[in-house]
Chains A and B, each alone.
Chain A
Amino acid sequence: MNTTPYSVTRSSQAARIAAILGAVTLVVLIAAPWWAGRADMRLMGELFLYLSLATLWNLMAGYAGLVSVGQQAYVGFGGYMLFALTMFGGLHPLAAIALAGILGALISIPVAVLIFRLRGAYFAIGTWVIAEVFRLGFAQVSALGGGSGSSLPVAIVKSLASKRAMRESLSYWLALGAAVLVISAVYLFLRSRKGLALTAIRDNEMAASSLGIDIWRTKFIVYVVTSAFTAMIGALIFLQKLRISPDAAFSVNDWTAFVIFIVVIGGIGTIEGPIIGTLVFFLLRETLADLGTTYLIVLGVVAIVVMLKAPKGIWGLIRSRFELQIFPLGYRVTKRN
Chain B
Amino acid sequence: MDWLNAIVQGTLLGGLYALFAAGLSLIFGVMRLVNIAHGDLIVLGAYLGLTVTTATGLHPLMALAIVVPAMALIGYVLQRGLLNQTLGDDLLPPLLVTFGLSVIIQNALLEGYTADPQKLSAGGLETASFAVGGLTLGVLPAVTFAIAIAVIWGLQWVFYHTALGRAFRAVSDNQDIAQLMGLNKRHIFGLAMALALAVTAVAGILLGIRTSFDPSIGGGRLIFGFEAVIIGGLGNLWGTLAGGVILGVAQTIGAKIDPGWQILAGHIAFLIILAVRPNGLFPRISA
Contact = CB atoms under 8 A, between A and B. Distances in A.
* A and B associate: yes
B104 A297 contact: yes
A121 B103 contact: no
Contacts of B230: 118, 122, 126
B146 interface: no
Interface in B233-287: 234, 260-261, 263-264, 267-268, 270-271, 274-275, 278, 287
A80 interface: no
Contacts of A308: 82, 85-86, 93, 97
A136 B261 CA distance: 8
B101 interface: yes
B100 A261 contact: yes
A303 B96 contact: yes
B66 interface: no
Given A132-B263, A311-B93, A300 B227 contact: no
A114 interface: yes
Given A121-B91, A124-B95, A140 B104 contact: no
Interface string A55-76: 0000001000001010000000
A136 B91 contact: no
A118 B95 CA distance: 15
Nearest to B270: A129
Contacts of A69: 36, 99
Contacts of A307: 86, 92-93, 96-97, 100
B226 interface: yes
A18 B36 CA distance: 39
A226 B83 CA distance: 30
Given A132-B267, A304-B82, A299 B95 contact: no
B267 A133 contact: yes
Interface stretch (A9-17, A99-107, A252-260): A252-260
A126 B92 CA distance: 16
B94 interface: yes
A228 interface: no
Contacts of A140: 260-261, 264
Interface residues of B, number: 43
A137 interface: yes
Contacts of B223: 125, 128-129, 132
A165 to B, nearest CB: 37
Contacts of B271: 114, 129, 133
A61 B101 contact: no
A336 interface: no
Nearest to A295: B107
Nearest to A296: B107
A261 to B, nearest CB: 7
B83 to A, nearest CB: 10
Contact of B274 (A114, A136, A260, A296): A114
Contacts of B110: 293
Interface string A187-223: 0000000000000000000000000000000000000
B34 A124 contact: yes
Interface in A84-135: 114-115, 117-122, 124-126, 128-129, 132-133
Nearest to B226: A125
Contacts of B274: 114-115, 117-118, 126
A118 B283 CA distance: 13
B94 A121 contact: yes
A308 B86 CA distance: 7
A121 B33 CA distance: 8
Contacts of A268: 92
B97 A304 contact: yes
20 contacts: A117-B274, A118-B287, A120-B95, A121-B94, A125-B222, A128-B223, A129-B223, A129-B270, A139-B260, A296-B107, A297-B103, A297-B111, A299-B103, A303-B96, A304-B96, A304-B97, A307-B86, A308-B86, A308-B97, A311-B93
Given A133-B264, A308-B85, 14 more contacts: A69-B99, A119-B287, A121-B34, A125-B36, A125-B222, A129-B226, A129-B227, A133-B271, A136-B260, A293-B107, A294-B107, A300-B101, A308-B97, A311-B92
The 5 closest A-B pairs by CB, nearest first: A121-B34, A117-B278, A300-B104, A300-B103, A293-B107
